[in-house]
Structure 1
Amino acid sequence: MWLRSVPRLRAPFLSASAPRLALGDRRVLEEPRQRIYLSRSLSSGDVKWLRPIDRESLLFHLVHNRGSRMGIFLMTLNSVNPLKTEDIERALFHLQRKNLAMRVDIRIRDDVWWFCEQDGYNVDFKMLSEGASSVEECRRMCERGFPDGATWKFRMIPRGKEAPCVMPEVKGDFPYQYDVLMTSHHALGDGLSVSLIVKRMVELLNDVILGRHVDDEVTSRFSSREECYEIESRITKMLEEDPQRHDYVRETMPDASPLLLRAFPRPSGNRVTTGYLTRIVDHEATQNFQRQCKAHGVTINGAFTAVINIAMARLVQKSGISQRSYRIASNHRVSVNRYLKQTPRDVMDGYPLYLSHISNITSDRVTSHFWEYAKEVNRELREGLTSELPFEQKMARLMAQPNLVEEWARNPPPVVHDYGITNIAHFPMPERRKDDQVMVTDVNSVAMVHKYIHMLLFLVLTVRGRCSYSLSYATDYFTDDTAILLADEVMSVYREVSEMKEA
């Protein structure tokens, strides 16, 4: 029977018996041949035990330790003088001291995974040599997940005074340049939460270099998710009592093979990796796009979704598949904070919540009527968000297949979405002060998507007036050439609709 109840979860005791794999790399990650088993148990004297791990966090933990689902911020930092390793370590010490989530670890206690608070401060930070490769370091950061205690990783790579800068106008005052790579356990924070941590790290680094006093104010807390599970219980009960609504929710979720795979069959070979590429839209095109969104009453996220959908439909057309309409299914990362009333705003959380959206694009809209289509997509997304549809979809999936966390981690369900999208919008930059010693000049984001729920994931953000999006793709689904075709087509549509005359 499809409809099955899901018990209310507060802090479920979940076993640590599932095997964990460490993955290697092709461009970013590749599956190795060796299986690594981890087993660790600490006494209560080593750490402060917080609570048993919950369902969502266990899934992240198992998948992370297979090298997948990790997200990395790649930031460019420019400084007035060469940075001292001890200053960076001091800034990270304050960052961890002021943010409880950065002191949380996931460890085994009596054969059960628990959240615990580290005894002391221990950030996994390394200053690498100037010739180090950011791509290779991304691989090393992701290939083992978080098996050894630290749930945050920072790396810095000096690039020297001669390195090109995306903001050449500041190079004279901030001549020294560094690549900063940061990743965290997804159970502790989503992309937005972690972007705020990155912002605070830069602020603290400025304070440390200038010798400013750093106060004891706590700037973020660690979520208990009680309110999330209360919503889950309410939604589950509602779906059980309202079969008609339950059927409607099921119809909003895709259950077929993605459209792109018809035009671009999966590559042969056994490599299971994540590849990625990035596209940056210049300041003028970004402003034009935002202006068009405002004029048509469409959010940037809704319009960008429409851009991707049109680009995919065009790409399928160009491949020789001509039909009256094209069905494209997208999966949108949703911040759970929009549904929480009791949880304080300063709580960090990585609770996974998505909105599935199915769009049927008629042939005429592939070549024209873009903003009319964008309004339709925007309206559908807004209605889904305001009606709690993301929670309903999540619980409908769990009601169909409860208690499969470890199985999903080992053998993820078939991919049914054409792509996923995470939109951070405007990356939170530190407020500029005249005596700043460091400043952020560029930011990109990458996610490990292989062996998880997506075959393509767009990560969209705006940095200092420029839109940037990266495309992470599973190489057992797409070749590098296909990924490049898609990224270029998205860029082409973005520029085209940005320059349209307003109606």
Structure 2
Amino acid sequence: MTLWLRPLSRIRVPFLASAGRLHFPLGARHDLSGESGLRPYPPSRALSSVNVKWLWPVDREALSFHLIHNLGSRMGLFHLTLNAKNPLKTEDVEEALFHLQRKNPTMRVDLRLRENTWWFCDQEEKKVDFKMLSEDTNSMEDFHRLCEQGFPDGNTWVFRMIPRQKDAPCAMPEVKEDFPYQYDLHMTGHHGLSDGLSVSLLVKRMVELLNDVILGRHISDELTSRFLPREELWEIESRITKKLEEDPRRHDYVRETIPDSTPLLLQAFPRPSVDRVTSRILSRTVDLEATQNFQKLCKAHGVTINSAFTAAINTAIVRLVQRSGISQQSYRIASNHLVSALRYLKQTPPDIMGGYALFLSHVSRMNHTSNFWEYSKEVHRELKGALQSELPLEQKMACVMAQPNLAEDWARNPPKVVHDYGITNIAHFPMPERRADDQVLVTNVSSTAMVHKYIHMVLFLVYTFRGRSNYAISYATDYIADETARMLADEVMSVYREVSDLKSI
């Protein structure tokens, strides 16, 4: 993840991203230029400005995602199963998406070139990219097709709906009789404009609006979110950069918290040889009783569900490594946690929408004889302390200080993987409030991501839906073999169920 080069002087002036010379500031306040070997993508969009409202220059994070998205990676998708009382009309879905876009301005935003500089712009008359596909469409093939194309045509939000066959199983069989028509809905958005939480809220609102449209309800003009420059975050980054420059000991400590060695999982399960690099997905759902017990135990032991789930993943990795023949007194597991920068912002309004993801590198030492809940408390203390000390921001800025053209470099040549896994947890998936006259219900949800050619070889996507804990594993096929991924998914489930015994309180 890191290339530790000489530290750079503090930056203060606004950041611009030009097509020929990409600039990456330490605190988003100056131009750091470096020659780019990347062709402006795509050039046709730089020439069209009809019905476009220019907003402000693109920042480092958004451009980073843009470059990587257009290599077919780091795309995140939500997959929903909708059950309807009657067949859904394409025009009703399109009208619901029209209102969703009208009430959430971010859904009109694109990234375009303006006089050789990347800008955010508002496509004032742009329709949401939606298609109702045929019943025989393969969902997984459609998912990969969406991811591999990136966002080449200014469609930074994409929705696809696929009718399911009449005999398809229903995740909530008790509603199948009243809501017999099933549809798969795939939805993705540009990570420079949104993160997992904001997208999940959009999905919730979309279903609410679809019910309103079908029932002919009045839909207000009130906005439900806003898209604004990340000025407060840039100011914090500038402060963090100054602190690291003026405190070499803290700077060295932050650098030491970021791993730079071969992950434990790769020591036990070497990288496979593949002809085509892509991402694959496995998913698991924990039963209701085990989920409830796990939550009660977390509360009883004073740890968050995320900390305990992290401990469960670490325990599963250690068990797999031991079975492979690696025996040690203790094991070092490196994880990468996706957290929201919104936790550090005080002036930014709560209805803001955008990409505010941060990474927190965490290295844990686990004794092979550790008690699970005692180990969970240790993980909880470490993660809580890191978040309270602003360590995710410090790690981010230390990386940028060492490698100012980080986004461009990663797009050209992905960094080596140094974490055993990444984890993102959106907690309870937000659901529309059930109403007596609902015409559409969400009966199942899953979350996936493309992780190849990026910093993860394995990414856990964790959420709770209708009271059950769910997790998906997205893995890069050039790092993790299918069988290794399956063993990991199953072992995490085994640990989760094993420790969800209320007798251990």
Deviation for aligned residue 1:45: 3.8
Deviation for aligned residue 1:170: 1.2
Residue 447 (structure 2) aligns with: 445
Residue from 60, 78, 90 that aligns with 2:95: 90
Contact 2:337 2:361 (8 Å CA) reproduced: yes
Contact 1:14 1:53 (8 Å CA) reproduced: no
Partner amino acid for 2:434? R
- Give the unaligned 5+ runs of structure 1: 19-34
Q: Over the residues paired in the alignment, what is the CA RMSD in angstroms? A: 1.5
Deviation for aligned residue 1:44: 4.0
> Counterparts of 1:222 and 1:463 in 2: how far apart (Å)?
28
Residue from 390, 393, 396 that aligns with 2:395: 393
Contact 2:17 2:63 (8 Å CA) reproduced: no
> Counterparts of 2:195 and 2:20 in 1: how far apart (Å)?
23
Residue from 149, 164, 171 that aligns with 1:166: 171
> Counterparts of 2:422 and 2:9 in 1: how far apart (Å)?
28
TM-score by length of 2: 0.93
Residue 265 (structure 2) aligns with: 260
Partner amino acid for 1:141? L
Residue 278 (structure 1) aligns with: 283
Deviation for aligned residue 1:272: 1.2
1:16-61 residue CA offsets vs partner (Å, 9 max, x unmatched): 679xxxxxxxxxxxxxxxx996212235443001111111111100
Is 2:347 the partner of 1:347?
no
> Counterparts of 1:9 and 1:403 in 2: how far apart (Å)?
17
3-state DSSP of counterpart to 1:353: strand
Contact 2:68 2:74 (8 Å CA) reproduced: yes
Is 2:417 the partner of 1:415?
yes
Residue 13 (structure 1) aligns with: 17
Residue 47 (structure 1) aligns with: 52
Contact 2:293 2:502 (8 Å CA) reproduced: no
Contact 1:92 1:201 (8 Å CA) reproduced: yes
Residue 461 (structure 1) aligns with: 463
Residue 361 (structure 2) aligns with: 356
Which residues of 2 match residues 47-446 of structure 1 at below 5 A? 47-365=52-370, 369-446=371-448
Contact 1:232 1:395 (8 Å CA) reproduced: yes
Contact 1:102 1:151 (8 Å CA) reproduced: yes
Deviation for aligned residue 1:502: 2.8
> Counterparts of 2:295 and 2:245 in 1: how far apart (Å)?
42
> Counterparts of 2:123 and 2:239 in 1: how far apart (Å)?
34
Deviation for aligned residue 1:13: 3.1
1:278-299 residue CA offsets vs partner (Å, 9 max, x unmatched): 0111111111111111111110
Deviation for aligned residue 1:111: 1.9
Partner amino acid for 1:86? E
Partner amino acid for 1:413? P
Identity %: 69
Deviates more, 1:401-410 or 1:127-136: 401-410
Q: How many residues align?
A: 484
Contact 2:16 2:117 (8 Å CA) reproduced: no
Deviation for aligned residue 1:6: 5.0
Is 2:480 the partner of 1:473?
no
Residue 33 (structure 2) aligns with: none
- Give the unaligned 5+ runs of structure 2: 23-38
1:271-325 residue CA offsets vs partner (Å, 9 max, x unmatched): 2111111011111111111111111111000000000001001100010000111
Contact 1:8 1:230 (8 Å CA) reproduced: no
Residue from 482, 485, 503 that aligns with 1:483: 485
TM-score by length of 1: 0.94
